């Protein structure tokens, strides 16, 4: 694999990006390379994930062209495909659980404030209500 200079970015060298747009119920954006997940991001980062994948394909020249896949998945799909473990939250210490809870609350609040998608804002609001953060 060869990295290109910033002056040789016009073509993809045969590399490609395949992206499936988000569907209702999707919560993750999984980027795969060579059949392995290289990033797992929240659904709100879909456009950024596609942009990074496109940039990467322009910057490298492997011996054979590569395909980077950007997939949007629900929690159940991500677990069924092995990208997210079934027991993701098992055996957490109380401090770890509190930290994770705060991360979820912060992410939901950002989604409510910043997401242009009403369904995502509604899901984030419902999750905060179910967690007891809003009444």
Cα→Cα distances 32→39, 70, 130, Å: 7, 7, 32
Asked if the structure places residue 117 within a domain, the reply is yes
H or E element in which residue 120 lies = helix 118-130
Asked if the structure places residue 4 within a domain, the reply is no
Q: Are residues 26 and 58 in the same domain?
A: yes
Can you give the pLDDT at residue 134? 84
Number of domains in the chain: 2
Q: Are residues 21 and 68 in the same domain?
A: yes
**What are the pLDDT digits (tens) for 71-92?**
999 888 888 888 777 776 778 8
Can you give the pLDDT at residue 27? 87
Q: Are residues 102 and 75 in the same domain?
A: no
Query: First-to-last CA distance in the chain?
Result: 54
∠ CA 75-24-120, nearest 5°, is 85
Asked if the structure places residue 23 within a domain, the reply is yes
Can you give the pLDDT at residue 12? 65
The parts of the chain modelled with pLDDT lower than 70 are 1-12, 88
Range of the domain at 121: 94-130
∠ CA 38-8-55, nearest 5°, is 25
Please give the Cα distance from 37 to 115 (Å, whole number). 25
Instruction: Indicate the SS3 state at residue 54.
Output: helix
């Amino acid at each position: 694999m060869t990295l290109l200079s910033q002056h040789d970015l016009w073509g993809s060298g045969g590399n490609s990006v395949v992206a499936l747009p988000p569907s209702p119920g999707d919560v993750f954006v999984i980027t795969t390379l060579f059949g392995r997940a290289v990033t797992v991001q929240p659904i709100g980062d879909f456009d950024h994930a596609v942009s990074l994948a496109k940039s990467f394909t322009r910057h490298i020249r492997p011996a054979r062209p590569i395909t980077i896949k950007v997939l949007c998945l629900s929690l159940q799909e991500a677990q069924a495909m092995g990208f997210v473990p079934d027991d993701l939250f098992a055996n957490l210490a109380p401090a770890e659980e509190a930290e994770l809870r705060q991360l979820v609350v912060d992410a939901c609040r950002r989604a409510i404030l910043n997401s242009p998608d009403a369904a995502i804002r509604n899901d984030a609001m419902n999750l905060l209500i179910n967690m007891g953060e809003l009444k």
